[in-house]
Structures are given as structure tokens and as C-alpha cells.
């Protein structure tokens, strides 16, 4: 049995060969009805309408020990004060990396209003007219409060706060940034900056763009994007809703992103140490989240991906050499971790559609996700950038997921491209349930991918109300306790609850 191992960091993981050594369980209940494809929202947890109760939990050994310790310097307990663990021990409670601005203080406020004047002093009674004017006056520890109304394109350069005294731009009420020309909100070379609560819309190119100003050696850093709505971007070509280039230590939290014209909902180019959590990526025209160009150590966690026709998540890509950060990166993507997300009807595009694409990525993980009605193929292993210095797609992990599929909508399970190392990937300990055929025998893994171990095939998942969109497991679900252990502390599930040990398959922890 092959052993897969990755050096551990914020989002790296490794898996022991012992944890892989399990047989495939088969059997389970009959088809219990079609998926609720018209339902576009996840229903609240409610066990009053159970279905799929005919299956029995399988006897799956998920007790194999971890074989390495997590370097948890960037992961703080959700019950603590944000202090990092220092002894290399695995955290005992689940936690997502906390945004740097939690606990920050602001000693000064500046106000912006559509009725203001940039000659004013920026006080509550004499507000400024433009966000740019407030940015020019802001110093570390300044909170810029933007009052309700519509504002046109924002372009800021060199906004720099401090670790405990950031500069924050905060919407008060409904604040719309209308992208009359170019980019809706553009920011170059920021550090310790927060953007919160705005609706950025109708930009002809990109909705929100943050970059390092072209200075690859001095990345933008410590940027929090919280509770934003970014929508209706691009009038043609590859136009993203949000694009980050050369940004380190970033957070995109609790935001809604939709209708991005032929680009990505979130495009990360040469970005490192990021957290993308609790967002909704819906009804895009092409892709969802892409991390490429040397991007690394990014957690994509507890997001909803719905009706994303292209690659819902692309770990890697094909990036022009001049856009790589660092310029000599040996990978398109490294240690991208996709955990506890809900994917609904993703991958309809004929040419590239999929739920997860490993594209020149090294040690990327897709684990504890719930995937509902995927289209085309569920995963792609590709090498689109053939530059000599780049490692092939390798060491990928696809484990502990719960997948509900209509087989007639799939042309295959996994697509493997040339120049990759499929033999280094691990697929296993997933629950596969086809709603359209009781004789389903599981995914076909070819192209050199090792066959799955520890998976449950055509075993009824016993969910609360799958037909009406509640994909949480009942207490009797065979998904409970069926996960193989990973050597990083799992972040919270989709609902913010901690997984037990052994963990439940999919995005939702056991009730």
C-alpha cells in the first residue's frame, strides 16, 4: 500500500499508509427519490422529516493513528485568545485561523457620505465625499465609516495600517460601489487593511482587485474582506469578480459572489496563507475559486458553491511566467486545502467543468465536502502549464467526502491528463450514493489512480431531508465516524460545529 505524505503547515496534511488500508464497503438502501434540484438553499437542521433510514452503519475502521504533528503556529483555538500553539501538538479543539483584525482597536474615525465634501474634516457632522479622500487621511488605527448610498469606482494605493491598529473601511447601511469604468474597487500594496460590508457591482472588468503593485518581492499582506457582495462583473473576456495578486495572509469571509463574466468568482494569483470561509459562490458564468501562479497554504472552508458551470475549485492553473509569485515557484499551487464545503450542481461546462481540479498542484486536499449532483466529471487531474521548473500534479488527496450523484449527468468520475502523477493520489473513505440506479458500483478510477479503500458505495447516507435540501446526517447515518484521520486539526464543519473523532464524512458533523 502506497503511503502519501506531505510536510505540515497551515493547510498541509499527510496520511499514513495504515490509514489507507481499508476495504470498500458496499450495499445499502434503495433509491429514495430524486434530488431537490429546484431548491437553491440549504435548509436548517431539523430531524423531523427523516429519509434514507433504511441503511445501517458500516463497520469501517477509522482509528489509525496520525503519523506527524501539525505545525499549528497559525491556527488558534476558537475558545482561546488567538495565541499560537508552540509545541507542535495537534490542537484539541477545532478552529479556523482567526482574522488578524479580531481584537484590533481603533482610536480614530473618519466619515464618508454622499452629501459630504472632501474639504471637510471627516467628522460625523462634516463627512468627506469620497472614500479616496478618507484613505488619504487615514493613519494606523483609523476606521473609515462609509454611510449609505452609491459611490463610483474606488482606487487606493499604499494604504498601510499596523498589526493591532489596522485601517478599516466599513459600510454603514447599504453602500453600493458602482463600477462605472474599469475595476469597481482597486487597491495596490495595502497592509493591515479591512474592507467590510460593501456591495460592489456592475464593474465592466473586475469587481474587487487587490495586488502588490507589481513588486513581487513586497507582497500586499494582512487583508480582511468581510461580508461583501460582489456581483455582475465583466462585459466580456476573462473578468473576475474578485482578483487577488501577490497577497499574503488574507481572509475572505462571509461574502456573496455571483455572476462573474467568463472569469472566476475568486482568482488568487501568487497568494499565500489565506482563508476563504463561509462565502457563497453562486450562478457564476465560469469558475468558482482558483488558486494558481505559485499560490500556497490556503484553506477553502465551509463555503457554498452553487451552479458553478466551470471548475468549482481549481487548485492550480496555467499562469504566465511573469505573474508567478515567487517568480521561481516550482508549482502552480501548493497545499491548497478544500474542507467542509457544500457543492450543488457544479461543473456543467462541457470542456472543463468539474467540482475539483488538481492542476499542477502539489499536496492539495479535497476532504469532508458534501457534493450534490455533480456534472461532467467529479475531479480532474491536469498539467496545463508545462514549464520545465514546475512539478507535475501530484500527492493529491480526495477523502472523507459524501457524494450524492445522478449517474446520467456524469461522463466519468475522474479525468486524468498527460504529464501528471495520478499514482501519487489517494482516493478513499468517501460515501458514494447514486439516486438514479440501485446497482451503482462506485467511481471508476483509471489513468493510473490507485483504487479507493475504506469507501462506502451505494450505502444510504440517511440524511435529514435530502429531497428538500437538508444534507445533514441523521444520528444513524453510516457516514458518522467513517472518516479516516488526517494529521491536521479539522476546522469546524459547514455549520460551525466541531467534528467528533472519528469524524463524519462530508461537510456536516454528526448531530
Torsion (CA) 384, 385, 386, 390 in degrees, nearest 10 = -130
Q: Are the beta carbons of 248 and 220 closer than 8 angstroms?
A: yes
DSSP state of 119: T
Torsion (CA) 179, 99, 74, 242 in degrees, nearest 10 = -10
DSSP state of 502: S
Global confidence as pTM: 0.85
| Tens-level pLDDT at each residue, the chain (511 residues) | 333 333 333 333 333 333 333 333 433 333 333 333 333 345 544 433 333 323 322 322 222 222 222 222 222 223 222 323 223 333 346 888 899 999 998 999 999 999 999 999 999 999 999 999 999 999 999 999 999 999 999 999 999 999 999 999 999 999 999 998 999 999 999 999 999 999 999 999 999 999 999 999 999 999 999 999 999 998 877 789 999 999 999 999 999 999 998 889 999 999 999 999 999 999 998 999 999 999 999 999 999 999 999 999 999 999 999 999 999 999 999 999 999 999 999 999 878 899 999 999 999 999 999 999 999 999 999 999 999 999 999 999 999 999 999 999 999 999 999 999 999 999 999 999 999 999 999 999 999 999 999 999 999 999 999 999 999 999 999 999 999 999 888 999 999 999 999 999 999 998 8
- Domains of the chain and any CATH numbers: 1-22+263-459 (no CATH), 101-257 (2.160.20.10)
Q: Are the beta carbons of 504 and 60 closer than 8 angstroms?
A: no
Amino acid at each position: 500500500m502506497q503511503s502519501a505524505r506531505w510536510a505540515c503547515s497551515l493547510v498541509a496534511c499527510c496520511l499514513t499508509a495504515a490509514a489507507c488500508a481499508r476495504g470498500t464497503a458496499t450495499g445499502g438502501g434503495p433509491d429514495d427519490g430524486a434530488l431537490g434540484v429546484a431548491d437553491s438553499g440549504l435548509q436548517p437542521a431539523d430531524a423531523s422529516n427523516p429519509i434514507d433510514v433504511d441503511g445501517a452503519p458500516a463497520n469501517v475502521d477509522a482509528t489509525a493513528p496520525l503519523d506527524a504533528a501539525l505545525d499549528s503556529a497559525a491556527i488558534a483555538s476558537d475558545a482561546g485568545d488567538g495565541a499560537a500553539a508552540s509545541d507542535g501538538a495537534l490542537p484539541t479543539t477545532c478552529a479556523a485561523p482567526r482574522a488578524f483584525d479580531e481584537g484590533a482597536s481603533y482610536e480614530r474615525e473618519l466619515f464618508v457620505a454622499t452629501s459630504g465634501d472632501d474639504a471637510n474634516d471627516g467628522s460625523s457632522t462634516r463627512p468627506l465625499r469620497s472614500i479616496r479622500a478618507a484613505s488619504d487621511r487615514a493613519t494606523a488605527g483609523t476606521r473609515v465609516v462609509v454611510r449609505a448610498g452609491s459611490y463610483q469606482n474606488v482606487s487606493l494605493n499604499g494604504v498601510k495600517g499596523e498589526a493591532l491598529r489596522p485601517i478599516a473601511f466599513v459600510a454603514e447601511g447599504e453602500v453600493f460601489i458602482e463600477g462605472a469604468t474599469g475595476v469597481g474597487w482597486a487597491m495596490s500594496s495595502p497592509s493591515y487593511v479591512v474592507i467590510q460590508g460593501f456591495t460592489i457591482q456592475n464593474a465592466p472588468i473586475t469587481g474587487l482587485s487587490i495586488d502588490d503593485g507589481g513588486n513581487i518581492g513586497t507582497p500586499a499582506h494582512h487583508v480582511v474582506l468581510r461580508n461583501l457582495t460582489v456581483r455582475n462583473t465583466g462585459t466580456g473576456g476573462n473578468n473576475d469578480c474578485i482578483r487577488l495578486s501577490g497577497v499574503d495572509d488574507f481572509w475572505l469571509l462571509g461574502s456573496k459572489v455571483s455572476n462573474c463574466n467568463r472569469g472566476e468568482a475568486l482568482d488568487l494569483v501568487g497568494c499565500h496563507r489565506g482563508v476563504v470561509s463561509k462565502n457563497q459562490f453562486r450562478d457564476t458564468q465560469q469558475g468558482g475559486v482558483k488558486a494558481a501562479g505559485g499560490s500556497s497554504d490556503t484553506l477553502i472552508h465551509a463555503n457554498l458553491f452553487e451552479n458553478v458551470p466551470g471548475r468549482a475549485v481549481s487548485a492550480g492553473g496555467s499562469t504566465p511566467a511573469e505573474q508567478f509569485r515567487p517568480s521561481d515557484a516550482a508549482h502552480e499551487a501548493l497545499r491548497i486545502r478544500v474542507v467542509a464545503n457544500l457543492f450543488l450542481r457544479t461543473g456543467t461546462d462541457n470542456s472543463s467543468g468539474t467540482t475539483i481540479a488538481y492542476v499542477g498542484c502539489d499536496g492539495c486536499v479535497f476532504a469532508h465536502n458534501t457534493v450534490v449532483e455533480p456534472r461532467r466529471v467529479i475531479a480532474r487531474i491536469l498539467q496545463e502549464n508545462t514549464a520545465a521548473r514546475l512539478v507535475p500534479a501530484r500527492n493529491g488527496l480526495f477523502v472523507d467526502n459524501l457524494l450524492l450523484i445522478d449517474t446520467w449527468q456524469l461522463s466519468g468520475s475522474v479525468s486524468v491528463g498527460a504529464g501528471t502523477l495520478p499514482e501519487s493520489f489517494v482516493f478513499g473513505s468517501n460515501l458514494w450514493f447514486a439516486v438514479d440506479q440501485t446497482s451503482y458500483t462506485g467511481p471508476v478510477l483509471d489513468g493510473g489512480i490507485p483504487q479507493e479503500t475504506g469507501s462506502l458505495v451505494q450505502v444510504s447516507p440517511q440524511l435529514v431531508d435530502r429531497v428538500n435540501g437538508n444534507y445533514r446526517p441523521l444520528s444513524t447515518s453510516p457516514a458518522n465516524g467513517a472518516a479516516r484521520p488526517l494529521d491536521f486539526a479539522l476546522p469546524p464543519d459547514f455549520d460551525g460545529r466541531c467534528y467528533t473523532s472519528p469524524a463524519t464524512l462530508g461537510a456536516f458533523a454528526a448531530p
